[in-house]
Structure formats: structure tokens, C-alpha cells
Chains A and B, each alone.
Chain A
Amino acid sequence: MALFNIFIFPGILFLVVAGLWFEFVDRRMYARMQHRQGPPWFQPLADFIKLIAKETIIPENANRRLFVSMPVVALTATISAFFYIPLWSTHALYSFQGDSIVVMYLLTLPTLTFFLAGWYSTSLYSTIGAVRSLTQFFAYEIPLFMAVLAPAMLANDWSLAGIATYFTAHPLLALLNVPALGVALVTLLGKLERVPFDIPEAETEVVAGAFTEYTGRHLALFRLAIDIEVIVAGSLLVAMFLPFGLALPAWLGFLVYLLKITFVVAVIAILRSIMARLRIEQMVNFCWKILAPVALAQLLLNLVVKGFLHS
């Protein structure tokens, strides 16, 4: 049963299918908002198969082992994070006190792999993309951490399942975290490197950033890892900030869960269709001057409320 859970449902296979599906949803919505047709539903899968079949080229100067292993590390990290997140019930597949921190750390790994992948490709565009990835990482990571941990603080529990249980018992308290949800959604754009924070892979400036030298199946794995990261990070936000419908029967809960993920994907698609790409220094300023104070205020608010509740 554990193996079934890990490999089939709600494990790797489910994640791959959901990742590709929501990539389609994202691309289709983006296209429709731009008054275009958009791709057919199987396009992400077709792209993936095509990339797998393509020739793989590894730059001569690149560190071969790192170059090849980075996509796998990114994929593994995102998938492992998924097992600790409660999806459509208050239970996660695996759970322990402090797993919320572990999930956050597992989710920072892909960004680090982007950096290492870009840096060890040794091409100029990759290097610049890698450095930008890391610069951006330092800007959005702190607000993201503060925002995501605010509900944990309120629930006084460091396991994701525990937080979900707490908010299912006190659903109104979840509304308190709305500013943090906003901060988390915006920083998520930075984590996923989407417009307006797609600075590390801005195609008109640095071609494809860290991925410039990647081809064939390695690129396919990276893209799959990013698709899955959307689902995992979306699930994390949903579990933290929208813990509604977790007590429903499993099938209904599953539908509600899919709706919630669609909501996150839709917000990302809308935000990237109405904004221009920022410059790296504008992005850092925005994260530190606006997002960080908001997240900090949320933490203070939650501390005060928690004081009242427990006194």
C-alpha cells in the first residue's frame, strides 16, 4: 500500500499527470486572455515526449556529473515534499512535528539546483541566469517563509497535518491569514520564475538563463520538475491558507482540492498576463520593502491573536 501511495496515487504518477494537466490549464488560460487559441490538452505531454526523444548535448566545459544530476535532484526534492502535505483530508501520507519546515526546505532545493545547473554549464547566459536565480532567491525566500509559517504560528503546531486539523476545527481563524496568502502567492511567482519575476530566464535578455545549455531529456526533467513544483507549492499554500472542505468525503474533498489548485494556477496565469517583467533590483526592492513588512505584520498579528486565544 505504501508503495502504491508513493508511486501511483497520490504519489509520482498522480503528480506527473497533474503537473502536465495544470501546465495545460495555465497555458490555455494565458492564451485565451491574450485572445489566442492556445495549445490542445495533450501539448505538455507531447512536448515532454518530444524532448525525451531529442539529442542530448552536454557542453564540453560543463561539470558533467552535476549537469546531469541537477534535473533529477530538482525532481526528487519536489516530489518528496509532496508526501508531507495534507491534500483532501487532514492527514498527510507522512507526518511529523516540524515537517512544515522540511517541506519549505525541500521546496528551496529546486532553486538551488537551477543555480548549480546554470553555474556549472559555464556558458555566459547560464552564469548570469544562475546568479540572478540566487539573487532573486534571497529576495523572495524570507517573505515566503514568514508568510507560510504565520498559520503554523497561529495553530501552534509545526506539522502540516496538525495545522490542517487545527484550522478545520477553527475555520474562521484561517481568514486571519489572508494577507499572508497574498504575500505567498506573489512570492510563489518568484519561486516558479514566472512573469513579473521571470528575471533569471528572461528570454530577451539571457536566452533561457540557467537552462540555456540544457537539451533533450535533461531539459524535459527540469520542465517536469517545474510543473510538479507548481502543484506541490500550490498544495502547500492550499493546505496552509485554504483548509476548507477537508472533512468532506474523499471524492468530494478531492474535487475541492483540484478546484483550489486551479484557483492558484489561475491567479498565476492572470498575474503574468497583466504585468511586465521587472528588473532584478526592482524585484529585490519590492520583496524587501513591501512583501517582507507585510509578512512581518502578519506574524505579529498572529502572535497577538495566539496570545489572546491561549490566555
Chain B
Amino acid sequence: MSKITIPLGPQHPALKEPASFKITLNGEEIYSMDMRLGYNHRGIEKACEERTYIQGLYLIERICGICSHSHSTAYIQALEELAGLQVPKRGLYIRTLIAELERIHSHLLWLGVAAHEVGFDTLLMYAWRDRELVMDHLAEIGGNRVNYAVNTLGGVRRDLTPAEIAHILKDVDTLEERTKYYAQVATEESTLIARLSKIGYLSKTDAELLGAVGPTARACSVDRDIRRDDPYAAYGDVQFKVCVDDHCDVYGRVLVRVGELMESYSIIRQLLKNLPDGPIAVKAPRRIPAGEAISRYEAPRGEDCHYVKANGTDKPERVKIRAPTLANWRAVRKMIEGNYLADAPIIIAAIDPCFSCTDRAIELVRPAGAATLTWGALRQHGIDWYRKQGLDFADLNKKLATQLGRVK
């Protein structure tokens, strides 16, 4: 069989977000891979410059649908450093609590996705069912299932009640029980192990050279975790172990994430046990003095970096975001070569990619004959094109309006 190139994406059932992978196959074996990102570029960094710090916070949170708290905390830490704000202890503890709840929800989500990629839908359903427990708590404490918006300049926005604390502790016990079961499934289910082990191999040297971060790196025995190496929020006050594994393959990445889940439960218990009293936030100014700051944060997917440059107004001059997935892309290319096509989706999924976090730039490829249209011209072009096909949306709108009894 000669070499064939098959496209994986931009739209593909294995990908939850658009990205294009061109995989060159030698039979069923992957010869090389080429990727193109940028389908999700939303211009968030530029948009931040045109919003006040408070408004930008909610925008930053929407960088990622899973690790929203990670981005917002990384951003706000940089701002607080610039403004010289001392966040009260209780505020920091709540921030950390949300961060760990988010890690649990992210890792359980990943476990489900990974199981789905190898066709094990039952594990997907179970993992996502249990994730709902965490989602409910996030909605209760934060106010939303995904964009919790707990952070505010100088602290957090919502406090914890004793009833909520008791409820969280109870559910953490349930989740711990379930996670032990998943760990058992991961070590005993023979078809699952057959699909996960010995694929996507990345040696420790390669992981360090290619700058892999997070669980991807830790599964290659790279002992690196910002929570321990550069403690932020309340991580200095809690005891936890950094999960490292030496399998260097996808199976190792599963073990690291399951291990981190167990650590998260322990961190949550410590936080709630030692939760200090006092205020949850300090009053923050609207303007932030000129200066620049960089903030690091261990998101569920790895190290997240935010750089903020302030100029003394109520809007930042420059915001730069380096999401963890971006650091892992080059490692994926290394991991995927020499594997089977069947393993491509799970190898890509094994870094827990988040394309919309990553897409910071787009490249315009202009073929011959291409033209630049304004928004209005493009709209008109669309209307004309459909009219040529015999579809007139103006008519349809009128019809709909008549039916709804609101003729203009």
C-alpha cells in the first residue's frame, strides 16, 4: 500500500474542538503528522486591552470552558501583584478549593473522553456521571457550572457556609470511593490496558527538550509542578504529593491523572479543615499602577502563564497568555510517529488538549483569486448566493413574521 494522507479535522468526531491534523499513513502505521491550529482564534488578548480590569476578568475566564478558574486566577494574581493587594487568607483558601474542584472535574472529564476515544463508552458515562457531583458544587459555590466567576480583584466573591462545607466533604468521600474503582478498572480491564499501554511513547529527555508540561510531562518522570515549586494561593499551607510516573506512554498519563484526583481529595479535606475565618476580599482600586507582572499557575493540563502590563489606567496595556496545551503540541508530534492510525485520537487526547485556549494567532493563507470582503459585502454575497439557489431568506423572515402575527 502506498502512503496516503488522511485529514483528522478540522471537523472530526474524535476532536471536541476544531484543529487540523494531516496524518500520512504507511498502511495503518503513522509515518508523519502535520498540524494546523488557529481555527478558534478569538482575539482575546487584544479584546482585554479594550476592557476594564473587571470586565476583562470575565473575558479571560472564557478562554477555556474547562479550566476557566485557572485562567482567571493566573490573570488576577498578576493584577494583584501589580496593585500590591494582599488577599485575605480565607479568600485564598476558597480560591484554592475551587481550583482543586476544577482539577477533579477536568480530570474526570478527561478520563471519560479518553475512554470514549478507545471505544469504552461505559467508562465515559460513569466518569461523567460522577463529575456531576463536582459540577453541582461548583454551581452552588461559584454560581455556574463552568464559568464560576469566583475571583474578583482582591479576593473571591462568594463565601462558604458550614452546610456547604459538610456537603462537599460528604461528596469528596463518594468521589474518592469511585476514583479508587476507576484506578482498579484502569489496572485490571484487559482491553483498556491493551489499547493504552505502549502507545504515544515520549522519553524523559524528549519531554524536557520539547517543553512538555503538566500530567503529560509528569507521566514521563519529569517531576515538575508549579503548586509545589512556586506555591501560590494556599498551596503553601497544604501537604500533597506530586504524582509522577515512569511509563512514559498514554497509560502512564492515565495513572498520573487518577493519582492527582486522589491528591486533590486530600487537599480539599485539608483546606476545609483549616479554613481560616475573616473577610474573603479586600477593596480593590479601579486603576492599577503602571508595571508588568507574570503569573504562573498549575492548571489541570499543565503550567499556565499570564503576563500583564499595566499603564496606570483602568485598562491593561498588554495581556499575553500561554496556555498549557500550546506547550504540549510539539510533544504530540513526537509521540504520534510510528503508532497506528487507530491510536492517533487517543494520543492527541492524552495531553488533554484545549484548542481554544491555545489559539493565539492565525495565519492567513490566501490562494490566487481570493478577495477581501467587508462584513456587509459578505452578508450580501450570502443572500445573493442563496437567492440564486431559489431560497430567499427575506421572504422566509416575512413568512415567519406573519405567522407569529407581527407583520411590520
Interchain CB contact under 8 A, A34 and B116:
no
Interchain CB contact under 8 A, A279 and B7:
no
| From B7, B28, B118, contact of A280 by CB (8 A) | B28
Residue of A nearest to B345 (CB): A204
Residue B194 lies at the interface, judged by CB distance under 8 Å to chain A: yes
Residue A173 lies at the interface, judged by CB distance under 8 Å to chain B: no
Interface centre among B6, B118, B343 (most CB of A within 10 A): B118
Interchain CB contact under 8 A, A278 and B125:
no
Residue B386 lies at the interface, judged by CB distance under 8 Å to chain A: no
User: Which residues from A are CB-within-8-Å of B342?
Assistant: 199, 202, 205, 279-280
Interchain nearest-CB distance for B126 vs A (Å)? 7
Residue B341 lies at the interface, judged by CB distance under 8 Å to chain A: yes
- A33-B122, A35-B129, A124-B4 known; A279 and B116 CB under 8 Å? no
Interchain CB contact under 8 A, A35 and B126:
yes
Interchain CB contact under 8 A, A34 and B125:
yes
The 8 A CB mask of B100-128 against A (1 = contact, 0 = none) is: 00000000000000011111111001100
Residue A128 lies at the interface, judged by CB distance under 8 Å to chain B: yes
- A124-B4, A124-B7, A275-B191 known; A205 and B345 CB under 8 Å? yes
| From B7, B192, B340, B341, contact of A276 by CB (8 A) | B192
User: Which residues from B are CB-within-8-Å of A275?
Assistant: 120, 189, 191
- A266-307 contacts to B, CB under 8 A, are 273-282
Residue A125 lies at the interface, judged by CB distance under 8 Å to chain B: yes
- A203-B13, A204-B14, A277-B195 known; A36 and B125 CB under 8 Å? yes
Residue B344 lies at the interface, judged by CB distance under 8 Å to chain A: yes
How many contacts between A and B, using CB within 8 angstroms?
77
A204 to B117 Cα, complex, angstroms: 6
Residue of B nearest to A203 (CB): B13
Interchain nearest-CB distance for A176 vs B (Å)? 28
- Which bracket fits the contact residues of A? 20 to 34
Interchain CB contact under 8 A, B6 and A277:
no
Residue of B nearest to A199 (CB): B342
Main secondary structure on B side of the interface with A: helix
User: Which residues from B are CB-within-8-Å of A282?
Assistant: 194
User: Which residues from A are CB-within-8-Å of B46?
Assistant: none
Interchain CB contact under 8 A, B119 and A274:
no
| From A34, A195, A199, A204, contact of B13 by CB (8 A) | A204
| From B12, B122, B340, B341, contact of A34 by CB (8 A) | B122
Interchain CB contact under 8 A, B340 and A281:
yes
Interchain CB contact under 8 A, A204 and B122:
no
| From A195, A196, A207, A274, contact of B12 by CB (8 A) | A207
Residue of B nearest to A135 (CB): B28
A281 to B339 Cα, complex, angstroms: 12
User: Which residues from A are CB-within-8-Å of B115?
Assistant: 276
User: Which residues from A are CB-within-8-Å of B344?
Assistant: 205
User: Which residues from B are CB-within-8-Å of A277?
Assistant: 118-120, 191, 195
| From A36, A124, A199, A273, contact of B6 by CB (8 A) | A124
Interchain CB contact under 8 A, B125 and A205:
no
Interchain nearest-CB distance for B31 vs A (Å)? 15
Residue of A nearest to B28 (CB): A280
Interchain nearest-CB distance for B198 vs A (Å)? 11
Interface centre among B13, B122, B189 (most CB of A within 10 A): B122
| From B120, B121, B343, contact of A279 by CB (8 A) | B343
User: Which residues from A are CB-within-8-Å of B189?
Assistant: 274-276
Residue A26 lies at the interface, judged by CB distance under 8 Å to chain B: no
Interchain CB contact under 8 A, B195 and A279:
yes
Q: A34-B125, A207-B13, A281-B340 are in contact. List 14 more A-B contacts (CB 8 A).
A: A34-B126, A35-B125, A36-B125, A195-B119, A196-B119, A196-B191, A202-B119, A204-B14, A204-B346, A273-B122, A276-B118, A276-B191, A279-B342, A280-B340
Interface CB pairs A-B, < 8 A, 16: A202-B119, A203-B14, A204-B116, A205-B341, A205-B344, A206-B341, A207-B12, A273-B122, A274-B122, A275-B120, A276-B120, A276-B191, A276-B192, A276-B195, A278-B191, A280-B340
Identify the B interface with A (CB < 8 A): 4, 6-7, 12-14, 28, 115-122, 125-126, 129, 189, 191-192, 194-195, 340-346
